[in-house]
Structure 1
Amino acid sequence: MSVERRTKPPRLPPRWFIRLAWSVHRGMYRVFGGRIGLWRPRANGWGALRLTTTGRRTGRQRSVIIGYFEDGPNLVSLAMNGWGEGEPAWWLNLQTHPDATVDLVDGRRLVRGHAARGDERLRLWARWSEIDTNLDAYAALRSSETAVVVLEPRPSAPNTMRGS
């Protein structure tokens, strides 16, 4: 591969296609009752989880399916908004209400989200770069820094999962 070819910005599908693909993914998850749509991360790949946050404006529960990898007990994602401009709504919601739930292939977890900073961010970004070798090129498409989001386990309070 030539140097010229490697320096070209990556090509993304049109924004409408990215939004449609994620809508179809969420729809399949709902139609199949969660049996399809989530997977565990592989050796050099990311997994998919369902994150449920509290809406910053409405206070309603909002769910989205996002990519992640595991870092010890933590789950790590990128607030990339399909590599488009602006922050994804789920990340804005987590900044206002950091307590959330995630659904994984093996069950539900209570988590608390925060942005990785400093050395932690550098380490986790490097790990994502191992999974996606075009990460820096995709991130360069955005005018703002892409947040590395850490979802830490939180202790469950008595009766918090009742009625779920």
Structure 2
Amino acid sequence: MRGVRFVQKVSSTPGFARVAPHVFPALDRAVHRLTRGKVLLSAQLLPGVVLTSTGARSGRARRTPLACMPEDGGRGWILVGSNFGRPGHPAWSHNLLAHPDAEISWKGQDIPVTARLLRGRERAAAWQAVLAFWPPYAAYQARVDREIRVFRIVRR
């Protein structure tokens, strides 16, 4: 528990937001590829998926390792577009808005999913659950003027 609190504190800092987006996704993609989808480094701390979405402008497949909050015993997941507390929305969230049908790699299994941006009360309830799950999201939201996007993805 002490280690988790330390990681939460460090991951809430602006310095982490500057460095992490350049380091962790690249490491996650490499390890995930080398282990044929069985290992995701960041998932050692938080559950994670590798999202394969269709590029909003390019139409090309885009693979993005993401932390997630599993729901309903693995039938659904919450994805948070925090972008490590940086100003802009992450590219993968634009992709899901343009092309909600996607695929995730979850515990070594490829699963076709459909994403839906949460709004209103549904978003508020999911946001509270996400904050209980990983409190640093509150620091990310406090640093940006935009509302952080929250998606629910479910199996197709």
State the TM-score, normalizing by the size of structure 2.
0.81
Whichever of the two has the greater Rg, that structure is 1
Query: Gaps spanning 5+ residues in structure 2: where?
Result: 1-11
Could you tell me which runs of 5 or more consecutive residues in structure 1 were left unpaired when the two chains were aligned. 1-9, 155-164
Supply the RMSD in Å over aligned alpha carbons. Answer: 2.1
After the TM superposition, which segments of 4 or more aligned residues of structure 1 sit over 4 Å from their partners?
A: 38-41
**Aligned residue identity for 1:108:** D
Aligned counterpart in structure 2 of residue 110 of structure 1, from 109, 112, 122: 112
Cα distance, 1:20 vs. partner?
A: 1.5
Deviation at 1:18, TM superposition (A): 3.4
Equivalenced residues, count: 142
Query: Alignment partner for residue 148 of structure 2, among 134, 146, 160?
Result: 146
Higher relative contact order (Cα pairs below 8 Å, separated by 6+ residues): 2
- 8 Å contact 2:69–2:79 — kept in the other structure? yes
Q: Which has more helix, going by share of residues?
A: 2
**TM-score when scaled to structure 1?**
0.77
Q: Deviations over 1:102-139 (max 9, x none)?
A: 11005121111111112211111111111122332221
Q: Secondary structure at the match of 2:124?
A: helix
Q: 1:94: which partner in 2?
A: 96
Matches within 5 A, 1:24-63: 24-37=27-40, 46-63=46-63
Looking at structure 2, the residues matched to 14 and 108 of structure 1 have their Cα atoms a distance apart, in angstroms, of 29
Amino acid at match of 2:53: T
Aligned to 2:71: 71
Query: Which segment is superposed worse, 142-151 or 101-110?
Result: 101-110
Q: Which residue pairs with 2:9 in the alignment?
A: none
Identity %: 25
